[in-house]
Amino acid sequence: MPSNPPSGDDLVHLSATEALRLFARREVSPVELMRAVVDRTEKVEPRINAFTERLFDEALEQARHAENRYLGKNGLTPRPLEGIPVAAKEKHAILGRTLTEGSLARKGRVATENAPVVDRVLDAGGIIHARTATPEFSLATYTHSRLWGVTRNPWNPDFTPGGSSGGAGASLAAGTTLLASASDIGGSTRIPAAFTGTVGFKAPYGRNPGLGVLTADHYRGDGPMARTVDDTIAFQNVLAGPDPRDHTSIRPKLTLPTSYEDVTGMRIALCVRLGEYDVHPEIEANTRAAAQALADAGAHVEEITLPWTHLDLLTAVAGHFSTIFGALVIEAAETHRDLLSPYAVAFADTMTHARTQVSYLDSLRAEHQLQRGLATAMDGFGVLICPTTAIPGWHAGDDLAGDKVVVNGEEVADTLWSTMTTPFNINNRCPVLNVPSGMSSWGIPTGLQIVGHPYDDPAVFRVGKALEILRPWSYAQLEDHLS
């Protein structure tokens, strides 16, 4: 045993990969780690409200079984995520448990099978100890609902952790989980990762299997969130691969490397505004600082522009969402309008109107224009880097119902253009990794997107790993906010 093994809050801030190494050396046990996570939850969860359900009794029993695997009992050996606490997004179905998606209209609904994400976690030895909050139907860039209340950002509880995987990001930052499952149809992984200083990966369409009719929606996909790039790689390697329940899932499975060359000689494109986005000065400064770090490390960083317009982006998403995802929310509003959160009703009404203005064919034409513009701009570069959001954040509980995002009484952005993630759902064959880019004066982190060419996942992790080494990120400073 080491002279000073980690304990308490030191344990909950371990990376998953470091915890696995400590388990293997028998310096920390899965039971110790799970108890620390449970204790941490009791301390911070009343303020953060990241969890919709706690499965602590079952988790502690599974941790004892994991401990036996590390001890070699019964001839069993540890699996890739053996004993690691994993928080599952509530929309990721668990057999026999609720599947409400944050809606009173679906209260009492029970899952009839596990989502592929859940099966992959369990098969790898991960322990699902809690389930995380989302906005209703995972349709918003913040996390609150009539069913679950308001989820807050651990860095500054006045602010949202983003959405829709806001509970996932908040729990990672707060130390109440080591890994968290997420999904992304317009930025639902990357936005909360940016606002909570965590790492989130939007895998290319089909890389990770999903469940249900929306697997056919080429904007969406399930993926990993974590506190480090290495943890994200380890989790993604568990999630990837074909599943017969999702015929869009790609075979053969891509296994990401766990080590990468540095960025010396790599050609990297920098685009701050993605066409016509109005970017907050602090976001721009942190993005440029990350780009400079890569240049100082030997990468060839070149600033580029994109020919994207707000009109093309709006046309693409209006036709697409009103035809597919929006149609599901419209169905719910037609039968349970009185039970929906105000923002869900507003979304349904907006999608109903969009159907009369933009056809699916219109959206496909705009998508083609946007995809061609990106492909041309990225030609000759290994990756593109850009901000994840246009502003540092917005207040917890805010429905963003007006035309402007208002923070501390000041208008800071157009609501529709406050995030910069949806263009890469339109270009959803591109892998995108969010990593922290710094802190804002609002007391919450900011994020950087690393965008790869279609299905070139290793490239984004190469750059993400380089930035993590060049600009180390720590959660220790969070303790002042949570004490």
Catalytic position from the list 89, 91, 202, 465: 89
- Residue position matching structure tokens 């933009």: 358
Catalytic position from the list 15, 103, 138, 164: 164
41 HSE (CA, 13 A, CB side) = 26
Of 391, 325, 337, the closest CA to residue 363 belongs to 325
Question: Would residue 164 show up in a list of annotated catalytic residues for this protein?
Answer: yes
283-319: string of b/e by CB count within 10 Å (b at 16+)?
A: beebbbebbebbeebebebeeeebebeeebbbbbbbb
Question: Would residue 89 show up in a list of annotated catalytic residues for this protein?
Answer: yes
Of 233, 234, 230, 211, the closest CA to residue 222 belongs to 211
| DSSP states of 441-480 | TTSSEEEEEEEESTT-HHHHHHHHHHHHHHS---SGGGHH
Strands 144-145 and 149-150 turn out to be antiparallel
- From residue 256, alpha-carbon distances to 253, 434, 459 in Å are 10, 17, 10
Report CA Rg, the chain.
21
- For residue 446, what are the β-bridge partners? 438
- From residue 382, alpha-carbon distances to 185, 269, 373 in Å are 24, 8, 16
Catalytic position from the list 145, 171, 188, 249: 188
* Residues that are catalytic: 89, 164, 188
